[in-house]
Structures are given as structure tokens and as C-alpha cells.
Structure 1
Amino acid sequence: MTYQDIDSFFKGSDEANSAAEAHGLATGMLCVNGQTQSTAWIKQLFDQGDDIGAEQSRQLAQLFEETRASLESGDYGFEPFLPADDVPLSEQIAALADWCQGFLFGVGALYRNGEQSGQTREILRDIAEFTRLDPDAEGEEDEVAFMEVTEYLRTAVLLLRAELGSNRRARIH
């Protein structure tokens, strides 16, 4: 299953902007509550009653479970679900900004009233800043910056998962 396959689910939909935003939402929800079910994520994605087919639902559930497995694995194999490297950099950057927006929404959808460390607040502020990335980037310097932001996100997500998922004062609903 490729990014383009999943992204096609959202073309023409009034819901998530992209597969990246949908994956960010799933990742945020799983960082707060590793027991979240794919059905809760799909409901968040299509809360206006959009009818999705059984095959789309199965593929989305598969992506969700792959995301859970990558977050839980000890090999740090988590990757944000973004377009392939052969896609223009501007599209990759726009997808990364969408991913960050979805992630913040996913965290906010489940995380309530818990204390956060200074590091967690700083990471969440950084991710909020990434939602404003300028997609009109090109050139080697911008490619390097894009890779650095992506790598930062990989590490930041794992740190947030450790803190938010274990915060005893957080109320998960």
C-alpha cells in the first residue's frame, strides 16, 4: 500500500486533506493511547457520515495497525507516512505540514488535563510551527532541511509517545 493509494481516499472528500494528515491523526491518537482502535480513528476521519467502502476501511485499518506496530517496536522504525522521494519537494513539504496538523489534532482529541514536561511543550510547539512550512521550496539546501525536520519528527514522536502515553494524570476518553 502506497501513499498515493491511501491519499486517493481523501481526494474530493471534505474530511482529511491527505493521507499524511490522516496518518498524523492516527499517530497522535496512538501516542496518547496505544490501545486506540482503528475504528475510532476512521470515525474521526469520516465523522460527517461519509460512506467508505469495505476495501478502503480494510486498507485504512491496516495502515493504522502498521503505525501502531512501528510505534511499539523497539527498533525505532517509525516513519511519518509521506509521499515518496520522487515526488516534488513542494508536495512532500505540504504533506509534512498536513501530517503535523493531523498529529496535533490526534493528540488533542485524546489528551486532556495532563501535566506536560517542558520538553513536551517545546516539541508540540515545534510541530505546530511545522504546520506553517513553506511548500515553495526547492534545491539541495531545502531538501536537507526537509530531511532534518522529518528525522526530528521521528524522534519527537517516540519521545511524546513515551511521555503522553504514560502520563498518569492524563484523562483519556
Structure 2
Amino acid sequence: MNDIPLHTEHVLFADDTALWTSSNTLTSLSQRLQQPIDAFESWCKSWKLKLKPTKTEMIPFRLHTRKKYKHPVETKVENTTIKPLDATRYVDVIIDKQLKWRNHLQHLESKMTRRISLLRYLAKSAQEPNQKTMINIFKAIARPVMAYVYPALLTANDKVWDRLSSWV
């Protein structure tokens, strides 16, 4: 993996790769994204790795989210045009184009609700629930859900943090 020719910001996690860049113009942005994508495609071919354009997603972050552009940002992976999305998931973190975290919080709430319900069931069904055991179960099944995405939520506003803290 050390010879990947990406001259842009990127992160690798298992078989997932994320690329990002910034620009003052949309035309320049498309070009700045396409160049590392082409280089990555070429690298994959040389190592006989198969890309899946159908799994490739793109999300543009911009200052004026309501402004409509004549020529939106588009890139191609193996001759497949990748159109911008309003939200995407990367390593179980849902990122929306405004970085509001609303979709991700709903996803987290769903996961946490199931886990907390399991804890309640276990506490009710035990004749004498052991507090230490319940805390250990919480640490094992609920806390990792929150801790896993903690770095991604560092940009979240106070409302998001208030909702998160109400779960624990």
C-alpha cells in the first residue's frame, strides 16, 4: 500500500479508500479529484485489484449548500460517472454535505436504543442484577458505538453533544 500514488488527502481503512481535496472553483475541483482517481485506478490495475464503480460515492461540501450550480462536480471511475450525493457512509459514519450529523445521530440512536433495551431486559430478568456486571455489559455493547465515531463528531455543535450525553 505504500506505493499508492495519491497526491491528495486520503485515508485507507481495510479495503475502503477515501480521497478529498478543496478548490476555489468547481471546474478546478473536478480536475483535482479526477487526477488522483486516475492515478489510483492505474495503481489498482498494476496490482490486479478490481475497483467497484457502483460502490464509489462522492459528496461535495460547500459553503453555499442551497446554491444551484450549472455544472455540478462530477468524476469518473472506470468510465462510470460518479454523481454527487447529499450524504454518504464511510466506515459506519454517515456524513452529510452540511456536516450537520443529523443522519448519523439517527443511526447512532437506533443502535444505542437496541443495546440499551437489551440491558434493561437483562436487568429485569435477573433475580438480583449485579451492578458491576451490568456496567461491564454496557461497556462491551453500548459504549463502543459511541467511542467508535467520537473523532468524527468533534465538529458537532452543542445540540448534538446534548443529545449524545443524554444516552449515557
TM-score by length of 2: 0.27
- Which is strand-richer, 1 or 2? 2
- Which is helix-richer, 1 or 2? 1
Larger radius of gyration: 2
TM-score by length of 1: 0.26
